[in-house]
């Protein structure tokens, strides 16, 4: 397997919020990669060869380095070319950013999965009978969102003020997913209007549009395609 275009290769899945944050950073940094869209139930053998844990995104650099954590792909992208309109975080902001992302990737994601797919978490054995209630988990996510809303209300429109940053784009794909789980409920829910505006601006942004362009699933032998196209 080669880098036919002389570009890093990105294995990605359009709807995955982790892959989305990687693509957002790649677009924002003005970089180009060779894109290989996949379906999760049929991961390409080459991807599994270079990253056996089998999650997307996976970035395969031209020197053979493999980056298979979404935040590391974001870090790689901004190191190549820091996006012109992003805020460079000072050390205090960086610490806050890391804390928020840990909360998001941990507690928020854990509750989001249970809100979206409660049936996956029911347990029925001889000794246990647990029914996962999606609304309990929606509430838990909401509590976290209310905190970000307070931050945005105080110093928005972005998490660190007037300019977007790494934190916004690492977090927003997951807030988008939270809304998608029940759009009518989210849009009608009272409160957290600063957060809703933050999300709405993201949903309408050319950056997201570019990051969400559709590609057919890749197969070995296909003509290589670039992202952004
Ligand atoms: N910690 C990883 C998580 C990535 C992840 O879990 N991606 C999901 C898709 S959203 C995945 O590839 N899951 C494998 C599967 O469902 O087979 C990262 O940040 O890149």
Rounded distance from Cα 22 to ligand 1 centre (Å): 12
Residue 88 tokens, joined? 């460079």
Band of pLDDT at residue 123, cut at 50, 70 and 90: confident
CB distance 86 to 78 below 8 Å: yes
* Torsion over CA: 150, 153, 155, 159 (sign): positive
Number of domains in the chain: 2
CATH code where residue 59 lies: 3.40.30.10
Task: Give the percent of the chain with pLDDT over 70.
Answer: 100
Shared domain check, 196 and 110: yes
Q: Confirm whether 2 is domain-assigned.
A: no
CATH code where residue 151 lies: 1.20.1050.10
Rounded distance from Cα 105 to ligand 1 centre (Å): 11
Shared domain check, 52 and 138: no
Short-list 211, 148, 158, 214, CA closest to 178: 148
Residue 191 has pLDDT above 90, yes or no: no
Shared domain check, 164 and 64: no
CB distance 62 to 7 below 8 Å: yes
Which tens digits make up the pLDDT trace of 166-189?
Answer: 999 999 999 999 999 999 999 999
Shared domain check, 110 and 63: no
Average pLDDT over residues 27-34: 98
CB within 6 Å of ligand 1 — which residues? 13, 16, 18, 40, 54-57, 69-70
**pLDDT the model gives residue 77:** 98
Shared domain check, 56 and 113: no
* Residue numbers of the domain that contains 118: 91-205
Rounded distance from Cα 44 to ligand 1 centre (Å): 15
Q: Confirm whether 3 is domain-assigned.
A: no
Non-local CB neighbours of 123 within 8 Å, separated by 6+ positions: 129, 130
Phi–psi pair at 100, nearest 5 degrees: -65, -45
Shared domain check, 201 and 213: no
Q: Confirm whether 43 is domain-assigned.
A: yes
Residue 174 tokens, joined? 């997951």
**pLDDT the model gives residue 120:** 93
Average pLDDT over residues 90-118: 98
Shared domain check, 198 and 98: yes
């Amino acid at each position: 397997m080669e880098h036919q275009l002389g570009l890093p290769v990105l294995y990605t899945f359009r709807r995955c919020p982790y892959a989305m944050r990687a693509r957002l950073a790649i677009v924002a940094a003005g970089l180009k990669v060779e894109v290989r869209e996949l379906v999760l139930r049929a991961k390409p053998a080459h991807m599994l060869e270079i990253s056996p844990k089998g999650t997307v995104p996976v970035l395969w650099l031209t020197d053979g380095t493999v980056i298979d954590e979404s935040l590391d792909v974001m870090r790689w992208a901004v190191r190549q070319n820091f996006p012109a309109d992003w805020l460079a975080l000072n050390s205090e902001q960086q610490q806050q950013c890391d804390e928020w992302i840990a909360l998001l990737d941990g507690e928020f994601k854990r509750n989001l999965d249970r809100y979206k797919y409660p049936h996956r978490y029911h347990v029925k054995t001889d000794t246990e009978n647990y029914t996962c209630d999606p609304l309990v988990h929606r509430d838990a996510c909401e509590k976290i969102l209310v905190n970000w809303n307070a931050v945005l209300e105080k110093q928005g429109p972005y998490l660190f003020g007037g300019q977007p940053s790494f934190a916004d784009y690492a977090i927003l794909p997951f807030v988008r997913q939270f809304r998608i789980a029940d759009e009518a409920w989210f849009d009608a829910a009272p409160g957290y209007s600063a957060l809703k505006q933050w999300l709405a601006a993201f949903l309408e942004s050319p950056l997201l549009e570019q990051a969400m362009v559709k590609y057919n699933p890749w197969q070995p032998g296909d003509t290589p395609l670039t992202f952004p196209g």
